């Protein structure tokens, strides 16, 4: 039972760590703000959620202590992480940050064309 529990804990924490390393590599290597926020929001949210799940299983199965606060943290991160990235990317677009030069499609440009001209960004 202990071996099974430890395998579960090590699996979740390793997966989380892997996703966070991928996040950091994406933040360094990707060309513009939007693809960086794509990397940062998705994979870091999943990584932190996996690490929290690993911690939760460790305390539940090995220490016999059921901690619902960690599950609440997982739900909270799952809700707020992507919304934070959405708000940051959207405000960057409204503030006039240009996408990468290789971008082929920009649907939001049509939406903001008249409005952005008035603000003279």
Partner 1 sequence: MKVNNVILQFTAKIVFFIIFFFAVHIFFAGHYTPGGGFVGGLVTASAIVLLVIAFDLNTVHKLLPINYIYVVAIGLILALGTAAISMFVEQPFFTHFFDYFYLPLFGKTSLHTAALFDLGVYLVVVGVTMTIIQTIGDDE
Residues in contact with partner 1 by CB under 8 A are 69, 72, 75-76, 79-80, 83, 86-87, 94, 115, 118-119
d(CA 69, CA 78): 14
Tokens of 94: 């409204």
Query: Cβ of residue 46: shortest distance to partner 1, in angstroms?
Result: 18
Query: Cβ of residue 20: shortest distance to partner 1, in angstroms?
Result: 23
What's the CA angle centered on 62, arms 58 and 65, to 5 degrees? 80
Judged by beta carbon, residue 30 or residue 82, the one nearer partner 1 is: 82
Query: Cβ of residue 120: shortest distance to partner 1, in angstroms?
Result: 12
Instruction: Evaluate whether 112 touches 96 at the Cβ level (below 8 Å).
Output: no
Tokens of 93: 């677009």
Judged by beta carbon, residue 61 or residue 84, the one nearer partner 1 is: 84
């Amino acid at each position: 039972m202990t071996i099974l529990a430890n395998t579960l804990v090590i699996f979740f924490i390793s997966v989380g760590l892997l996703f966070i390393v991928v996040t950091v590599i994406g933040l360094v290597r990707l060309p513009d703000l939007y693809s960086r926020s794509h990397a940062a929001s998705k994979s870091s949210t999943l990584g932190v959620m996996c690490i929290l799940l690993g911690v939760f299983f460790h305390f539940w199965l090995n220490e016999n202590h059921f901690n619902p606060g960690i599950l609440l943290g997982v739900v909270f991160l799952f809700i707020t992480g992507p919304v934070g990235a959405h708000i940051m990317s959207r405000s960057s677009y409204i503030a006039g940050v240009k996408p990468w030069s290789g971008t082929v499609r920009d649907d939001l440009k049509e939406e903001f064309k008249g409005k952005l001209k008035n603000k003279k960004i």
